[in-house]
Homo-oligomer: A and B are copies of this chain.
Amino acid sequence: MHKSRLGALIIDCQVDDLETAAEFWSAALGGRADQGDPEGRYIEILGDGAEPRVILQRVEHPSRVHIDIETDDIPGEVARLERLGATVVEVMERWTVMQAPTGHRYCIVRARRDGFADKANPWD
């Protein structure tokens, strides 16, 4: 048995300066931008811990939004989603990129939100 749920909304930003992007999005959504990582690739907009995380990611491709599904078993969750018709795009060290039958790309990541054990969906 493993579990999964919507983990985060990733706001992929095709920008040089992610801090300026974070100023807009933290003000727009009413959260507080964290310090980000040393390479300036990620800044989280901290808000209500009960909701999916909101994370800005600096990217080279055009700006878009994608979903992260969090799980306690990445290979098990990937296999479950493949059975539903999704395909694996790329296996990274810490996450796997998949594509839905609807064409959306999304990532399978390790569970990091609060309350995962109680609130995530159990799968046989």
Binding site for B on A (CB under 8 A): 4-6, 9, 11, 13-15, 20-21, 24-25, 27-30, 47-48, 50-52, 54, 62-67, 69, 81, 84-86, 100-104, 119-121
* Distance in angstroms between the alpha carbons of A42 and B51 in the assembled complex: 23
Nearest neighbor of A20 in chain B, beta-carbon distance = B101
Chain B residue at minimal CB-CB distance from A13:
B102
Q: Which of B4, B28, B65, B104 is within 8 Å of A30, CB to CB? A: B4
Contact B101 A30 (CB under 8 A): no
Give bound CA distance, A86 to B103, whole Å. Answer: 27
Cross-interface CB contact of A28 among B21, B48, B86, cutoff 8 Å = B86
- CB-CB < 8 A to A100: which residues of B? 24-25, 28
